Each structure stands twice: as C-alpha cells, then as structure tokens.
C-alpha cells in the first residue's frame, strides 16, 4: 500500500526517512519536494517507493547572506527563485546561468536545490526497465556500453556504468566550491560538493553519501572570490530545453592579464559534476591567452575514456572550456 | 465544461440530432460508456458527470481526503495519493482543458498555474497542492470573455490541431509576469518547455509579442 505523508517538522521527516533500507536507488521511503525526478521515475517503474514523505513544508525555503559574506541556500528554494535572486545574479552569475540553461520555466518553478543535487541520470538504459542497468538493478549488466551511448559520460566511468550526471546547477556548485549541509538521525554534518556525489565504480546504484534519514537542509557558498568573474557555457543538440553534451562552469580572477585564481568544472561529460583541478593548475599564474586555455582543456580531458559513439565529446568539451575561459577573461 | 455537457446531453434527450448537437466530448464519453457496457466491470464507479461537477469517486482503495482550490472553487475529493494534479483535474474534476501529452514533464501540454507560477501538473501529486491556488485554462478566460493571450492566439492563428494550445496559453500568460527580454529569441527561450507537434511556433511567438507590445487587434466578427 502506497502512503504519501506530509511532515512539517524536520526531526519527524528524518525519522520517517530513516526507516528506509537504503537512501539510494530503489529506496522504499523517499522524500519528495518538486517531484520532477521522482514522479517521472515512479511512472517508469524505475523508482517504486512504498512511502513518500512530502518535505515541501519544512522551514528550508530561504536564501540568506552569511556573516562571512557567503550565501546560504535553503534545500527547498525553487530553482527559478535561486536563479533570479539578485545576489546570485550579481556575485554567483555562473549559478544563475547554469540553472537557467537547464529544463524549462515550468520545471524550474517546481525543482528545488536539494532535488537538483539528487537529480538522476537521463541514461535511457537506466530509465527503461526492459534494459539491463547496473545502477537500477545491481549486477544485471550495462547495455549502454555496447548500445546507444552518444550522450553518456567520458570521465569517471567504470566498466559497470557510464551514466552522465545531468544537472547544470551541480556543475556551477562544483566550480563555486559549495558545501552541502545534511541533517540525519545522528545530527548535522557538512560535505563539500566534490565529496557528495560518488563515482560509479562497482556500485553505480550508490550515487551520493546519503544514508537513510539523511535530509539535505541547505547549501552554502563561500564569499565571492575578489575580482572573480564567472560564467556557464552549455553546448547541446537544441538551443534550449536540452541536456548538455558538454558544458563548462568557470570562476576566474585575473590581474593585468594574468590569472590569479581559477575554478573549473565540466558538465555533460562526467558521471558526477566534474571539477578539474588539473585545468586549474594549468591556468594558475598564467597569461589569459588561448594557448594557455587549450593546455588547461587538454589537462581536463586527459583521462577521458570515450565510448563507441561519444568520442566527439572529448574535443567538444575542450572547445567548450576554451571558449568559456575566453569569454570570462575578455576585457570589455 | 460541465455546463456545456449538461446542455449537450439535455438537448439529445429532447430528441435532437446526435451529430448535430452533441459535442466532441459528450460523443467520446458516450463511446466510453459503451465500452463499459460490454465489459464485465460493474458501472458503480462511473461518476454521474452531468449532475455533479466534482463527484467524489467511491471505492478507491487507499483513497485519501484531499481539498483543492481550483479557479477559485473549492473541491473536496477522495483520491488515490498517487494521483497527479493533471489526472485529478481531468478525471475527478472534469476540467479537461489541461492536456496530457507526454505525462513526463517534457511537453508542457499539462501546464497550469500554482499560486500564479506555471508548473507541469503531470509531475505534481495533487495531494501536495492543497494549500495552493490552482488555475487552469478554464479559469483564465471564457469564450465570451477571453484573456488577451487567448484573443491573440485566435487572431494570430497560433495553433493547428490545438492539443498543445491550452498549455501554450497557460505558459504564455505566466510569462507575462516573468523577467523575459523584449526579443523574439527570448520569448522562444521562455516558451521552450511547450512543444507544438504541428509547428505553430512562429504564430505563437507573434501572438505573445502582440500582447506584450500592445499591438494585438481584437477579432472583429
């Protein structure tokens, strides 16, 4: 028997969630906020929770500035509200641009910060229960590796899973070095976004560090880096309303044409939001010129393992990053 | 809509010509009734459509009480908790203006407003929207009193088959209060969540722009 439960108190919501056997693929208890992923996957029989806990009334719906100059974003803040927030537009442009480049207005009006962090892959083999998928059904095999894999990942893959993390917001959060704040049965903890999502390895059904009862309560951003400019560039098959083939989130500070700080993350190519310390190292202290950008892009994609149909993504991602770096360092 | 049904069914009872007077919807629902008659299922579950605009369907296993406010009217219902807002509007309230296209949040045909903001009603559990003001195409305008966007869709021929139109109009009406720039390209971006299989996009953009620019001419008939 299916149960939809509304909880207005975080402790009670967490207690309800803690009864689940897993917080990962196939969870028997799920939190629901915007519903844009969960209800979609329930209709496909990919997610079959017995109990769904409505957490939209929990008190995590605010965006607040922090004493250190950073930003605290409530888990229940709708994506559209976050993207259009004046502080986000001004100090964290990459985040606003990333969110607005994804989905449609209708979906962004529904989707939340926490929900977007937990957005599931669009891999069609994951979404179709007639196919084999190690993420959906551990040990069953991966039909994507030998199948239609044009849109799938080239970084962070394993022989068990090549599913892409579809989120644009997560890529921006990676470049902004966001921290995810989680409340669980044992209290609160915070996890840097780089550690929040897991590589598939041989357990692709585990996508995050979340355990049963763990509730994302907010996300914090450090204060904007001095003199930094940021940008999100997304390349896709259509001009709008399409997932990225490759995308780049860049946050760059430069003085006198020299790069003094760079944060780089890629989307559409990784099994998780793909921060590239390799590219950042190549940029640090260098002149903001195309040959330097190209070296950074080569470094970012050095470990890429293309599949049968997505070899083009290696060069596409490089050009995407080079172009993003050009745009963000352009002096107007 | 229910008023129209009522009128349609009445005139048929009075002996009018079936094809002349019944609407497409009453005709189709009659076909549905015929299907039920030949099936082995008892008809007790079939709500009396003409009499009650919001029948509470009995005998749904695991049904929960849900109160919705739709187009300013309050409805008390018993529904399966998995019922989407779209299915609830169409199947329980018989507000069939909101359409089911993909049922996965990809096409926009199901677009309604929740507290003035547009959402895909196919990806909402109805029971989660009890504290909200829901507006459907039926609450936007009426044939004798169209919303300016509806008027503009008519005068610009912004549809062909019409299936996506209510969703397009709901998206466009919401868009009027969103931070959309003046250019056609920006309108296209803001409307990209609504797919039109007939490809009436040019005229849809023209209709919306005519309202934003105040240049739409009222249809003269």
Query: Tell me: the pLDDT tens digits for A62-93?
Result: 999 999 999 999 999 999 999 999 999 999 99
Report the residue from A1, A32, A241 with minimal CB separation from B193.
Answer: A241
Q: Are residues B80 and B23 in the same domain?
A: no
Whole-number pLDDT of residue B59? 73
Tell me the pLDDT tens digit for each residue of A290-301: 999 999 999 999
| A54-85 residues labelled b (16+ CB within 10 A) or e (exposed) | bbbebebbebeeeeeebbbbbbbbbbbbbbbb
* B53 falls within a domain: no
* B221 falls within a domain: no
Q: Are residues B168 and B202 in the same domain?
A: yes
Q: Is the Cβ–Cβ distance between B138 and B156 less than 8 Å?
A: no
Tell me the pLDDT tens digit for each residue of B177-189: 999 999 999 999 9
Q: Could you please report the per-residue DSSP string of B9-63? A: HHHHHTT--HHHH--HHHHHHHHHHHHHHHSSS-GGGS--TTT-SS------TT-
Alpha-carbon distances of B59 from A59, A277, B66, rounded to whole Å: 36, 60, 15
Q: Is A86 on the interface with B (CB under 8 A)?
A: no
Q: How far is A142 from chain B (nearest CA, A)?
A: 24
* B57 falls within a domain: no
Mutate to test the interface with B, among A105, A127, A240, A242 (most CBs of B within 10 A): A105
Whole-number pLDDT of residue B179? 97
* B59 falls within a domain: no
Which residue range(s) make up the domain with B106?
64-139
At A88 the three-state DSSP class reads helix
Which of these three, B117, B139, B161, is where a domain ends? B139
For residue A181, list its beta bridge partners.
A190, A218
* B21 falls within a domain: yes
Whole-number pLDDT of residue B32? 57
CATH number for the domain spanning B201: value is 1.10.150.120
Collect the ranges in chain B with pLDDT lower than 70. Answer: 1-58, 218-221
| Minimum CA–CA partner of B124 in chain A | A35
Report the residue from B82, B103, B118 with minimal CB separation from A106.
Answer: B118
Whole-number pLDDT of residue A139? 98
Q: Is the Cβ–Cβ distance between B79 and B147 less than 8 Å?
A: no
Q: Are residues B129 and B167 in the same domain?
A: no
- Dist. CA A265–CA A321, nearest whole Å: 9
Q: Which residues of chain A lie closer than 8 angstroms to B84, CB-CB?
A: 39
Q: Are residues B109 and B128 in the same domain?
A: yes
Element (H, E) at A295: helix A290-301
Beta carbons of A105 and B64 less than 8 Å apart? no
| Minimum CA–CA partner of B119 in chain A | A106
Spell out the domains of chain A, with CATH numbers in brackets: 228-329 (3.30.390.50)
Domain count, chain B: 3
Q: Is B170 on the interface with A (CB under 8 A)?
A: no
Tell me the pLDDT tens digit for each residue of A161-190: 999 999 999 999 999 999 999 999 999 999
- Dist. CA A63–CA B14, nearest whole Å: 62
At A31 the three-state DSSP class reads strand
Tell me the pLDDT tens digit for each residue of A266-283: 999 999 999 999 999 999
Q: Is the Cβ–Cβ distance between B86 and B122 less than 8 Å?
A: yes
* B51 falls within a domain: no
Which of these three, B139, B163, B197, is where a domain ends? B139
Q: Which residues of chain B lie closer than 8 angstroms to A115, CB-CB?
A: none
Interface of B with A in 173-202 (CB under 8 A): 174-175, 178-179, 188-190, 192-194
Beta carbons of B124 and A109 less than 8 Å apart? no
Q: Which residues of chain A lie closer than 8 angstroms to B128, CB-CB?
A: 4, 6, 32, 35, 54, 56
Tell me the pLDDT tens digit for each residue of A91-109: 999 999 999 999 999 999 9
Q: Are residues B164 and B134 in the same domain?
A: no
């Amino acid at each position: 028997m299916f149960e939809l439960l509304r909880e207005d108190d975080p402790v009670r919501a967490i207690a309800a969630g803690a009864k689940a056997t897993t917080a990962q693929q196939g969870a028997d208890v799920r939190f629901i906020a915007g519903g844009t992923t969960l209800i979609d996957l329930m209709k496909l029989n990919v997610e079959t929770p017995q109990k769904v806990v409505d957490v939209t009334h929990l008190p995590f719906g605010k965006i607040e500035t922090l004493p250190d100059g950073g930003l605290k974003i409530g888990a229940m803040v709708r994506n559209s509200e976050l993207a259009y927030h004046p502080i986000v537009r001004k100090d964290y442009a990459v985040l606003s641009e990333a969110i607005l480049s994804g989905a449609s207005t209708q979906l962004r009006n529904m989707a939340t910060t926490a929900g977007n962090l937990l957005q599931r892959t669009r891999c069609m083999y994951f979404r179709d229960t007639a196919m084999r998928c190690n993420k959906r059904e551990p040990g069953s095999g991966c039909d994507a590796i030998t199948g239609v894999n044009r849109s799938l990942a080239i970084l962070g893959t394993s022989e068990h899973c090549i599913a892409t993390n579809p989120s644009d917001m997560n890529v921006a959060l990676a470049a902004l070095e966001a921290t995810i704040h989680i409340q669980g049965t044992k209290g609160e903890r915070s996890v840097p976004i780089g550690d929040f999502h897991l590589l598939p390895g041989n357990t692709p059904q585990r996508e995050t560090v979340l355990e049963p009862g763990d509730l994302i309560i907010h996300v914090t951003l450090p204060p904007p880096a001095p003199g930094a400019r940021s940008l999100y560039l997304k390349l896709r098959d259509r001009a709008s309303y399409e997932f990225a083939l490759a995308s780049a989130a860049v946050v760059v500070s430069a003085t006198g044409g020299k790069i003094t700080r760079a944060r780089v993350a890629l989307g559409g190519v990784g099994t998780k939001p793909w921060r590239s310390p390799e590219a950042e190292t190549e940029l640090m202290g260098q002149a903001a010129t195309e040959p330097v950008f190209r070296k950074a892009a080569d470094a970012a994609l050095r470990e890429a393992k293309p599949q049968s149909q997505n070899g083009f993504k290696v060069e596409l991602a490089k050009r995407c990053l080079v172009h993003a770096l050009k745009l963000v360092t352009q002096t107007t | 809509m229910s008023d129209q049904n009522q009128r349609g069914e009445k005139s048929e009872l009075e002996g009018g010509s079936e094809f002349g007077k019944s609407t497409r919807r009453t005709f189709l629902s009659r076909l549905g009734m015929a299907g039920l008659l030949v099936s082995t299922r008892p008809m007790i579950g079939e709500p009396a459509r003409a009499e009650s605009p919001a029948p509470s369907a009995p005998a749904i296993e695991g049904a929960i009480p849900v109160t919705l406010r739709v187009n300013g009217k309050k409805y008390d219902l018993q529904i399966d908790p998995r019922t989407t807002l779209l299915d609830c509007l169409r199947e329980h309230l018989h507000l069939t203006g909101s359409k089911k296209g993909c049922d996965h949040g990809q096409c926009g045909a199901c677009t309604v407003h929740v507290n003035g903001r547009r959402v895909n009603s196919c990806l909402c559990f109805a029971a989660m929207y009890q504290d909200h003001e829901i507006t459907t195409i039926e609450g936007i305008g009426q044939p004798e009193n169209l919303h300016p966007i509806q008027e503009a869709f008519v005068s610009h021929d912004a549809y062909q088959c019409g299936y996506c139109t209510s969703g397009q109009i709901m998206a466009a009406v919401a868009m009027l209060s969103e931070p959309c720039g003046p250019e056609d390209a920006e309108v296209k971006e803001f409307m990209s969540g609504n797919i039109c299989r007939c490809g009436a996009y040019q005229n849809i953009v023209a209709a919306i722009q005519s309202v934003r620019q105040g240049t739409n001419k009222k249809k003269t008939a």
